[in-house]
Structure 1
């Protein structure tokens, strides 16, 4: 294979080291320079591991950001529900308290069953909201 000639300039101390190494190992300086350049241009295992680690950390960071967003949605939904519930539910008279507690227990049981069904299906408020927002954006874009 034909080689391409390249003229380069070395620091005198570096050239002296190159010349001494070539002499002591009895190899041409060209071989040493080629090997050093090939080593420099070829990513080593440490670079490959670092790149893989950076990619993995990026994926983990995106997952954490999604988790934080979902937690924020959950907290906000709960806060809105509590505000609505506290403002909409009138106080219960003493003579109706037992009936109200029984009805509350029944509603709570229904709530837990509904929650279990949604979680088993993989349906979450965050996914639902995401679908609604995407659907609204598509409707808006289609109507323009």
Structure 2
């Protein structure tokens, strides 16, 4: 039996920015699975459901320091440098959320403890991922 890839989890309360009001608290469950070493999964609890987003670990890390991303997910430091802004854009709508930079940095540090930058290829099973793509309808 092989070694199970480590999984790093954290729950962080984000603030959903709304016009002219205090940000609304939104629980987010972050997960980093070393079997997909380049990605971070974030499940935002919205009403009775969970909205999942998958984006690059490096995007989250880069966004702690400077604006990063030019697609559906953009991450940047907030005006208050102790916070980070995450913008999510989808055909159904968009959301602007903010979180404590230190909490995101702590989560990322724990992912780097498990899979340091540059070691991702040793955890990534290219053949398995290719097989998953080949069997999609």
Which structure shows the higher strand fraction?
A: 2
Indicate whether the TM-score tops 0.5.
Answer: no
TM-score of the superposed pair, with normalisation by structure 2: 0.26
Kindly name which structure, 1 or 2, has the bigger radius of gyration based on alpha carbons. Answer: 1
Which structure shows the higher helix fraction?
A: 1
TM-score of the superposed pair, with normalisation by structure 1: 0.25
